[in-house]
Chains A and B, each alone.
Chain A
Amino acid sequence: MSDSSSYYLNQFKRSLLIVKKNVKVYYSKGPVIIFGVVLPMFLFLAYFIGRNISLHEAFPGLLGMTVFFSSTSVGPTIAPWESRLKTLERLICSPISLWSIFLGDVLSSFLFGFLISLIPLILGLILEVAFINYFLIVGVLILGTMCFSAFSILLSAYPPSDMPSTIMMLTSLIRFPLIFISGVFAPLSALPSWGIILSSISPLTYFVDLTRVALGGGNYYPLYLDLIILAVVGVLFFIVAVSIHKHTILKRFS
């Protein structure tokens, strides 16, 4: 094995240790799990009850909200928590790259988001929501959760605060508007042209568009474009997040 592949393999193993640590410290807490499930459910019910739409039509929105909220629920708070509890400096002094630490954060966020998203998916199957392409829905779920998990560490990158509450407030300011512009509550084809332009900046738009395809509905963007955008944006989120964290990390220790 070459030096560089050995380096990346070792760093990836260390990322998995970060995943294990995150699951034990952050994700296995009861309130976190309940919050991850309950919040998107309530948002969905607030939208669904009393309106004349079928579960089949509303399902992409429910899945989109669950994936988006669960995979961005804890990720943004890890860096501030670790700064506050003074565990971050210890971690960074270890022979682990900054990108490996944040890859671990992304993977743990992905794991949590993916598992939580299985709940509405299974619920949908029980309630006989008809998927025409199971491979696509699982693939979309993986791609979308990965993209939003990368987004979660970008949310914590700036400001380099050690106050999780501050970051959560800023995160909510970004997450909630994104829900409303992403075609969650109405298909893109029903939006005015300015709405479509606005929705195109949100990665959630492409996730919901893909979910509609998997349910046999009409997609607004070509399938390949949705997939490429989700993948590219996810990678970009990760690169930009690590780059910002790299420049601001010292401020977390002062």
Chain B
Amino acid sequence: MRNAIEVVNVSKSFGAIKAVDNVSFTVKEGEIFGFLGPNGAGKTTTMRMITGLIKPDSGVIRIFGVDILRDHIKAKQLMGILPEMSNAYIDLSAWDNLMLVGGLYGVPKKICEERGERLLKQFKLFDRRNQLVKGFSKGMKQRLLVCMALIHEPILLLLDEPTSGLDVESTILIREVLKKLNENGVTVFITTHNMDEASRLCERVAIMHHGKIIVTDTVDNVRDKTERFKILEVIFDKAADFTELASLSVNGDFNVSGERVRVVVEDVDSVVNRIVDYARNNSIRIISLNTLSPSLEEAFIKLTGS
């Protein structure tokens, strides 16, 4: 499988401030990759370097093997971009905006018109296609921007906070389309503050902090990495004297509430076996047994201290 994005030892400073410090990561073709980090972490600077907007001080960025510095036109042609600081032309209609962007990507007029019609219908903007964008709501503008990013049918989509501040309908619509595009082979690179969105959409994430990548892994692994200990929650069929189980806790955290027991453990496998033995020895049945991992949001807060 090819690498859709390769970022190799990239650094960028603005005066004395090192915005991006020797960052390396890859995004594989066909995946949805989340790029997370608190404000000022260097996400937008990294995104702008990937999109060829600014040049890195050092390092290499390749889009499907094309060096963005050496051939930025060819690299940009492969990408559909929704920049953070972006807007459609408010004095143009939705249709004119789409045709302008399609033309800039070299899409022949007839194909551009066919795609424009399909996209505007898909994003529920077709009836408003001839209306000036200045009359659009934020959600409609954002949907139009996504249409503009898709008009040339890119194989890589880079989206900076695509659903930030949007209404529920627009958010769901954009997420559904992104999922569908990804199923059809489009690689999606998404920066977001929304951990719930990252959890739902992304297969892998990178978390950036103070200009450095502090973790790159699958969403589940990022959650696991941040919490060496897990909370094991067991629900028995009846309440009993559970004090014997307190010794299973690695840090003393042990909580009983009726027939439910929560204990903090390190080695889940051995503890589960001991709980099963305990239940058998005391003629108690186990109704359910869960390990509670931290959410991505909790992991993010723990990793970044934000």
Cβ of B81 < 8 Å from any Cβ of A?
yes
Shortest distance in angstroms between B75's beta carbon and chain A's nearest beta carbon? 8
- Judge whether B83 and A94 touch: CB under 8 Å: no
- Chain A binder among B23-31, B99-107, B207-215: B99-107
Residue with the greatest number of chain B CB neighbours at <10 A, chosen from A13, A20, A95, A96: A95
Task: Produce 1/0 per residue, B21-55, CB < 8 A to A.
Answer: 00000000000000000000000000010011110
Give Cα A11 to B162, complex, Å. Answer: 29
Pick the contact of A87: B76, B88, B104 (CB < 8 A). B88
Flag whether B284 is at the interface (Cβ < 8 A): no
Cβ of B87 and Cβ of A90 under 8 Å apart? yes
CB distance from B96 to the nearest CB of A (A): 7
How distant is the Cα of A28 from the Cα of B145 in the complex, in angstroms? 24
B87 near A17 with CB under 8 A, answer no
A173 within 8 A of B: no
Point out the residues of chain A lying under 8 angstroms from B145, CB to CB. 90
Q: Which residues of A contact B77 (CB under 8 A)?
A: 95
Residue B276 at the A interface, CB < 8 A? no
Contacting residues, chain B, for A10 (C-beta < 8 A): 106
Cβ contact within 8 Å between B76 and A93: yes
Chain A contacts of B104 at CB under 8 A? 14, 17, 91, 94-96
- Does B292 belong to the interface (CB within 8 Å)? no
Question: In the assembly, what is the distance between CA of A87 and CA of B73, in Å?
Answer: 19
Interface residues of A in 94-115 (CB under 8 A from B): 94-97
In the complex, the answer to whether A85 meets B90 with C-beta atoms within 8 Å is yes
B89 within 8 A of A: yes
- Give complex CA distance A27, B103 in Å: 20
A124 to chain B minimum Cβ distance, whole angstroms, is 34
Assess the B96–A17 pair: CB atoms within 8 A. Answer: no
CA distance A25 to B53 in the complex (A): 24
Chain A residues closer than 8 Å to B148, beta-carbon distance: 90
A10–chain B nearest beta-carbon distance, Å: 6
Residues on A with C-beta less than 8 A from B101 are 90, 94
- Asked, given contacts A86-B86, A93-B76, whether A24 binds B106 with beta carbons under 8 Å apart, the answer is no
* Residue pair A90, B83 in contact (C-beta under 8 Å): yes
A-facing residues in B57-91 (Cβ within 8 Å): 72-74, 76-77, 79, 81, 83, 85-91
A17 touches B88 (CB 8 A): no
Give complex CA distance A7, B73 in Å: 9
B91 lies within 8 A of A24 (CB) = yes
Query: How many interface residues does chain A have, given as a range?
Result: 20 to 34
- A94 near B76 with CB under 8 A, answer yes
CA distance A157 to B227 in the complex (A): 52
Q: Which of the residues B51, B86, B96 comes within 8 Å of A24, measured between beta carbons? A: B96
Contact B106 A95 (CB under 8 A): yes
Which residue of chain A lies nearest to B55 when distances are taken between CB atoms in the complex? A250
8 Å CB contacts to B: which residues of A1-54?
A: 7, 10, 13-14, 17, 20-21, 24-25
Closest chain B CB from A99 CB (angstroms): 12
In the complex, what residues of A have CB within 8 A of residue B89's CB?
21, 25, 85, 87
Contact of B83 among A7, A14, A17, A93 (CB under 8 A): A93
Contact of B7 with A by CB under 8 A:
no
Complex contacts, A253 vs chain B, CB 8 Å: 48, 53, 85
Cβ contacts under 8 Å, A17 to chain B: 100, 103-104
| Among B81, B90, B103, residue most surrounded by chain A Cβ atoms (within 10 Å) | B103
Chain B residues whose CB sits within 8 angstroms of the CB of A86 once the complex forms? 85-87
Q: How far, in Å, is A83 (CB) from chain B's closest CB? A: 9
| B245 contacts the other chain (CB 8 A) | no
B73 to chain A, nearest CB (A): 5
User: Could you tell me the distance between the alpha carbons of A86 and B82 in the complex, rounded to whole angstroms?
Assistant: 12
Known: A17-B100, A94-B105. 20 other contacts (CB 8 A): A7-B73, A24-B96, A25-B92, A85-B87, A85-B90, A86-B85, A86-B86, A86-B87, A90-B83, A90-B87, A91-B104, A93-B51, A93-B79, A94-B76, A95-B72, A95-B73, A95-B77, A95-B106, A250-B54, A253-B53
Residues of B within 8 A of A (CB): 48, 51-54, 72-74, 76-77, 79, 81, 83, 85-92, 96, 100-101, 103-106, 145, 148
28 contacts between A and B (CB under 8 A): A13-B103, A14-B103, A14-B104, A14-B106, A20-B100, A24-B92, A24-B96, A86-B86, A87-B87, A89-B83, A89-B85, A89-B86, A90-B83, A90-B87, A90-B145, A91-B104, A92-B53, A93-B51, A93-B53, A93-B76, A93-B86, A94-B76, A94-B105, A95-B73, A95-B76, A95-B106, A96-B104, A250-B53
